[in-house]
Amino acid sequence: MARPRKGRTSVWPRWRIELMLEYVAAIPCGKVVSYGDLARAVGVPRGARRAGLAMRLSVPGHLPWHRVVGASGRILLRGAQGLEQRRRLEQESVPFTPSGSRVRIEDCRWDFPVR
């Protein structure tokens, strides 16, 4: 019998991850949300880190993952992934601060529809 892998393979119940993926799929072009916004939308008020981990473990490539940023508008991915996220956001005309280091999240935050 195979032993279970060590480490986390899921941070939330499957239904919550599926709801999170539905919300990510619904973020319109040119809008962004924070990991904390995403966590609150699925009922975990202080779950920004878990939302990030769930995104890393669960998001299929066809979802607009690049529309999820840090609470201050920072792109939290490193290296090539961070550059790709920025490129995609710029293509969607998402505004950045004058220094270019952060998304102007107050100008383009998307409010999740109330369920």
DSSP state for residue 72 in the 8-state scheme: T
CA distance linking residue 30 with residue 85, whole number of Å: 13
Helices 48-58 and 14-26 sit at what angle, rounded to 10 degrees?
90
Residue 40: both structure tokens together: 């609150």
Return the minimum-mean-pLDDT range out of 10-14, 37-41, 81-85: 10-14
Kindly list the structural domains of the chain, giving each domain's residue range(s) and its CATH number in brackets, ordered by start. Answer: 14-108 (1.10.10.10)
What is the percent of the chain where pLDDT is above 70?
A: 90
Neighbours of 78 (CB within 10 A): 8
Do the beta carbons of residue 73 and residue 97 sit within 8 Å?
yes
Return the minimum-mean-pLDDT range out of 4-8, 20-24, 105-109: 4-8
CA distance linking residue 61 with residue 84, whole number of Å: 13
What is the percent of the chain where pLDDT is above 90?
A: 63
43-97, pLDDT tens digit by residue? 999 999 999 988 888 777 789 999 999 999 999 999 999 999 999 999 999 999 9
Q: Which residues are CB-contacts of 81 (< 8 A; sequence separation ≥ 6)?
A: none
3 state DSSP class of 97: coil
User: Looking at the DSSP assignment, which residues form a beta bridge with residue 96?
Assistant: 103
